[in-house]
Amino acid sequence: MQSGTRTPLRCPLCDGELTSTRIKQIGDVTANLRWEIHAGECPEHGWFQAEVISKPPREVFPVHRLGGATRRVQVEGRDVFAFPTVWNSMDARTIVDPLDPELWKIDWERLRLRSPVAGSTT
């Protein structure tokens, strides 16, 4: 596991940079596709993680701890257990950089919620 490494993963709730970032190599899935878990902790909102399988993650999960179970987060009074990314709405056959930060942004329209980050367009 790589500790303190750079990852495009940010806090879905405040868009803040995460601390204690980790990238865990899970291994190859099929056809030698790289499988990783990117995780980090927001000092205000806790741990988040995402699975990367040679493409950007489709969702970011709030978790109790690194590698832990998904936890509930309340946004506008609604329970949220996963935050869909911009990549989730795109054609999976599109060739992209799996570490493109734009594709890791949360797709708030898909959640039918307003972004809690002031001035955010995603």
Confidence of residue 115 (pLDDT cuts 50, 70, 90): confident
pTM above 0.75, yes or no: yes
Confidence of residue 122 (pLDDT cuts 50, 70, 90): low
* pLDDT tens track for 63-85: 998 888 999 999 999 999 999 99
What is the 3-state secondary structure of the chain?
Answer: CEECCCCCCECCCCCCECEEEEEEEEEECCCCCEEEEEEEEECCCEEEEEEEECCCCCEEEEECCCCCCECCEEECCEEECCEEEHHHHCCCCCCCCCCCHHHHCECHHHHCCCCCCCCCCC
How distant is the alpha carbon of residue 115 from its chain centre?
15
CA pair distance 67, 8, nearest whole angstrom: 18
Residues in the chain: 122
How distant is the alpha carbon of residue 106 from its chain centre?
8
Residue carrying the six token digits 């879905």: 12
